[in-house]
């Protein structure tokens, strides 16, 4: 496939230098359907990035699209602040019936604003308010968002430096397997908590991703998550699972923590919760934590009703039974087998993952970039993650067909080969 250099002029002249993905993927995209995007020159791309996990059901999923257009056509409420609307009610009822009740989860639902970082900010506020403490523990290579509260519990030094002020009130602890099994889990964390002379400000909460996406596809084991929950209970800290990227079925179950059998005190959801790539987020918390005063946290777009419509439709379509989870695990198996084969031939790479999120780590970060660049030339959208962008991240839509998945994996294999 030959790609004509696109006319990027207005992007280059008018848009800020802060733009990033458009630099890796120098095309002007126009349309999309399912796992494929098409640029304005008619080139087609297979999507293994899925809007950084926001498009678990694919681009412009027809079921959701129908519901969305119907809603717009009939002049349903579009912008609803936090007013009660029929669309919000339908979403809440569906979320309760399809997600919370079957899993026996005791959560209240908060609409904290439509983005992930809004949800994280609200979770941190609530935890601090409930416990009356300012400190929060996060983990190495965590990513929780770019507003100041979320950024303070995010690991990436480059992004932290963007704050322009010292980021405080957070302390990092080692994520699972940070020392490759050489140090007992939570040894350091628990000692600091137990030792009255440790110098650690007692945390209100711990915030964790079950699989760190931006951090390099670092997968926490179920027993590590259970031990973390136990530690939180013993030490009177709230457990916040940031399920923004790994929730909504990415790892198999609707919530990524289901497999571990834990029940976090607070959960954040965003990205794929609307199902259609529309901005929406949720903050869930145990009922006894709901000590918010009316309006104590607010936001203009926390009632994005078209997103409620597609969100309810997605839950109905994909989560009323256990098919979605089974299919994701099957697709994950397919990925794993291929990565096993690729890595068998490529000694500088190793892979890891769960459900439909996988990473291939290269010894040389430049190689990971080269693989993604070559994949783009071959019509596959792939991105890197990890502290040095050393991990090629596989995040296809959950609704991808086995054939599409196979096609993408073959392109990946070829890209690895051709960049050796």
Whose Cβ is closer to its own copies: residue 85's or residue 338's? 85
Residues 299, 279 contacting (CB under 8 angstroms): no
Q: Should residue 171 be labelled a site residue for its own copies when binding is judged by CB under 8 A?
A: yes
Residues 323-352 that bind its own copies (CB under 8 A): none
Q: Should residue 273 be labelled a site residue for its own copies when binding is judged by CB under 8 A?
A: no
Q: Is 43 left (phi over 0), alpha (psi -120 to 50) or beta?
A: beta
DSSP, residue by residue, 40-71: TTS-EEEESSHHHHT-TT-BT-HHHHHHHHHH
Q: Which residue has the tokens 């087998």?
A: 337
Site string for its own copies, 387-416 (x = CB under 8 A): xx----------------------------
**CB-CB neighbours of 228 under 10 Å:** 27
Whose Cβ is closer to its own copies: residue 184's or residue 402's? 184
Residues 45-84 that bind its own copies (CB under 8 A): 51-55, 59-60, 65, 68-69, 72-84
DSSP state of 38: E
Q: How many Å apart are CA 345 and CA 339, to the nearest integer?
A: 10
Q: Should residue 5 be labelled a site residue for its own copies when binding is judged by CB under 8 A?
A: no
Residues 185-244 that bind its own copies (CB under 8 A): 187-188, 191-192, 195-202, 204, 215-216, 244
Quick one: which of 56, 115, 328, 419 contacts its own copies (CB under 8 A)?
115
Closest by Cα among 77, 101, 105 to 89 = 77
Minimum Å gap between C-beta 363 and its own copies is 15
Minimum Å gap between C-beta 404 and its own copies is 17
Closest by Cα among 243, 241, 317, 322 to 276 = 317
Q: What are phi and psi of 35, to 5 degrees?
A: -95, 10
Q: Should residue 3 be labelled a site residue for its own copies when binding is judged by CB under 8 A?
A: no
Whose Cβ is closer to its own copies: residue 295's or residue 347's? 295
Quick one: which of 43, 102, 135, 317 contacts its own copies (CB under 8 A)?
135
């Amino acid at each position: 496939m030959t790609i004509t250099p696109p006319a990027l002029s207005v992007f280059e002249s008018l848009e800020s230098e802060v733009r990033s993905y458009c630099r890796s993927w120098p095309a002007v995209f126009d349309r999309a359907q399912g796992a494929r995007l098409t640029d304005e020159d008619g080139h087609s791309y297979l999507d293994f990035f899925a809007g950084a996990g926001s498009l678990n059901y694919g681009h412009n999923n027809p079921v959701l699209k129908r519901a969305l257009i119907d809603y717009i056509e009939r002049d349903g409420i579009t912008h609803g602040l936090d007013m009660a609307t029929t669309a919000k009610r339908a979403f809440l009822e569906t979320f309760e019936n399809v997600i919370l009740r079957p899993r026996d989860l005791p959560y209240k639902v908060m609409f904290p604003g439509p983005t992930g970082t809004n949800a994280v900010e609200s979770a941190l506020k609530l935890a601090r308010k409930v416990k009356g403490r300012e400190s929060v523990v996060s983990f190495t290579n965590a990513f929780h968002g770019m507003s100041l509260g979320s950024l303070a519990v995010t690991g990436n030094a480059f992004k932290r430096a963007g704050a322009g002020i010292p980021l405080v009130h957070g302390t990092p602890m080692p994520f699972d397997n940070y020392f490759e099994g050489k140090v007992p889990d939570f040894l350091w964390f628990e000692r600091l908590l137990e030792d009255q002379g440790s110098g650690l400000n007692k945390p209100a909460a711990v915030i964790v991703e079950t699989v760190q996406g931006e951090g390099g596809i670092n997968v926490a084991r179920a027993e590590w998550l259970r031990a973390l929950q136990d530690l939180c209970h013993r030490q009177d800290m709230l457990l916040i699972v940031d399920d923004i990227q790994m929730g909504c079925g990415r790892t198999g179950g609707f919530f990524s923590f289901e497999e571990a059998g834990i029940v976090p005190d607070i959960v954040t959801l965003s990205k794929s919760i609307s199902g259609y790539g529309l901005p929406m987020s949720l903050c869930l918390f145990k009922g006894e934590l709901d000590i918010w005063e009316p309006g104590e946290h607010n936001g203009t777009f926390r009632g994005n009703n078209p997103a409620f419509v597609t969100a309810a439709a997605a839950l109905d379509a994909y989560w009323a039974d256990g098919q979605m989870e089974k299919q994701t695990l099957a697709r994950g198996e397919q990925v794993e087998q291929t990565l096993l084969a690729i890595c068998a031939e490529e000694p500088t790479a190793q892979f890891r993952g769960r459900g439909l999120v996988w990473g291939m780590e290269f010894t040389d970060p430049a190689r990971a970039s080269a693989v993604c660049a070559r994949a783009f030339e071959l019509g596959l959208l792939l991105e890197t993650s990890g502290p040095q962008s050393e991990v090629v991240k596989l995040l296809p839509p959950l609704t991808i067909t086995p054939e599409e998945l196979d096609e993408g994996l073959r392109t990946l294999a070829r890209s690895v080969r051709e960049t050796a």
